[in-house]
Amino acid sequence: MQPSPDIRRPKCGASTVILLALMPLVAFHSKKVREIYTFPDHSSPGLDQGAGLIDVDNQGRLLIWQGPYEAHLPYLLWDFQRQAVVSNFSAHIPKEVQAKSLPGPTGIFFQPSGRVVVFRRPWLILEDPIRNEEIRHVVPNPLYLGPGILNRPGTSAGGPGIEIPAINPHDGSVAVAFNVHGNIMVYVYDAELEKPLGAWSLPRYVQGLAWSPAGDRLAILFNGRLDGTGPPITEDDVYQFHEGNRTAPGDDVWIVEPRSGNPLVKFRTGSNEWRIAFSPDGRIVYVIQDFYYSYPPDRSVIQGFSAISGDRVHTFTAGPRGVHMNFAVSPDGKLIAADASTEVRQMLPWREPVYGAKMARVVLLDSGTGKLLFEHDEKTDGEFSDPLEFAFSPDSRFLFVNFALSDHIPYNHIEVFSLDDLRDQGG
């Protein structure tokens, strides 16, 4: 599971959802997809608080947080098929790290081995979630511990996160980009965090990183809003620089050799993108449109590009609403889950046509044709601040979707959908 550009962290608010009168409005556009479970199970003692998805391991077990949020809350490694907790995992933050870490989110990601890498700005920490113990920690650059280095102007407003991590799905090696003003760097470590494999600079702010399935290439998505190279959207777009300050458009995706950073292919997507991921066979690089409501549906799309030539090979939307912010490709490469949430704005005709309603919506698309196979809606009156989080099980049989809201813990939940009927019927 590739991480989101904005570091995925155990916080409440992976996307914003308030259930009206506790009654979700559910719309299934395919009877081939079945909702089979919701976590937490409010009928089980001790599992009656909110929960949020962090990551899924290669055995299909979910690492989740369970509210209320605290600085050192325990996480659950949960086997949903057995509906059992495998272990309680507390991210161990060593005293040295606690004393010298900086404010910011904590990110946790699985390696193929089942270990987890914890990102605690600016530290990388390797931990064993079963034994519940730390193995090793490292800081990529001691200069990042200095005051103000990672909090310089320009790395937050309208731009990407300060650190952008990615885990190699082949061998567990780690890449992390630091968007430090004037010195944007990528550091690559082996899976044990013992050996630095590479360190190289980039000319622009990084929005996302993605490893190829074989671990031999690293895709870099640049942020076009912060540096002014992205295309304009509207005259009053607050995320764009003034036209006079804009630079010439450049290639916003590079595919590089991970150790040296040498570009293998460069291409331009033509819009501002939020997230990047390889197809399971490594032949296609997908990107998805950024920001929920910046574009009309015909521009709110997932694009696919050849990882060899950079040529565009796919453009997918999701009916009249478009998709944005986050997506996941199934491990078998046949399906794409994407965020199609909408919010009412009467002055814009492509918004949800029900005044005052907001819809948290996940859609499932055929990765070959872009055909809409399924959608699930939950009517809310909440604000959307972050994208929906979702992931597939390693065998592509299940889809996990996280609906969350920071100050409404009981409404945070993970829904599990079975895709068996869809696969059996050739959907």
One DSSP character per residue, 203-220 reads SS-EEEEEE-TTSS-EEE
| Cβ atoms < 10 Å from Cβ of 209 | 22
Find out whether 229 and 246 touch, Cβ atoms under 8 Å: yes
pLDDT for residue 93: 75
Digit-coded pLDDT (tens) for 106-126? 788 999 999 999 988 889 999
pLDDT for residue 229: 53
User: Phi first, then psi: what are they for 35, rounded to 5°?
Assistant: -80, 120
Q: Closest Cα partner for 319 from 338, 294, 345?
A: 338
Q: Containing H/E element for 424? A: helix 420-424
* DSSP code string of 89-132: EE----HHHHHH--SS-EEEEE-TTS-EEEEETTEEEEEETTTT
What burial class does residue 135 get, using C-beta atoms within 10 Å of its C-beta: 0-12 exposed, 13-18 middle, 19+ buried?
A: middle
pLDDT for residue 19: 26
Residues of the chain falling short of pLDDT 50: 2-29, 44-47, 69-71, 153-157, 232-248, 292-293, 346-357, 406-407
- On whether the pTM is more than 0.75, the answer is yes
The count of C-alpha atoms lying within 13 angstroms of the C-alpha of 328, restricted to the half-sphere facing its C-beta, is: 26
Gap between the Cα atoms of 276 and 327, Å rounded: 9
Q: What are the residue ranges spanned by the domains of the chain?
A: 20-424
pLDDT for residue 95: 78
pLDDT for residue 147: 76
Gap between the Cα atoms of 156 and 171, Å rounded: 32
Tokens 């567990």, located at residue: 172
pLDDT for residue 253: 95
Digit-coded pLDDT (tens) for 369-404? 999 999 988 766 555 556 788 899 999 999 999 875
Range 325-360 burial, b when 16+ CB lie within 10 A, else e: bbbbbbbebbbbbbbbbbbeeeeeebbbeeeebbbb
Find out whether 295 and 322 touch, Cβ atoms under 8 Å: yes
pLDDT for residue 150: 67
Check if CATH label 1.10.10.10 holds for domain 20-424. Answer: no
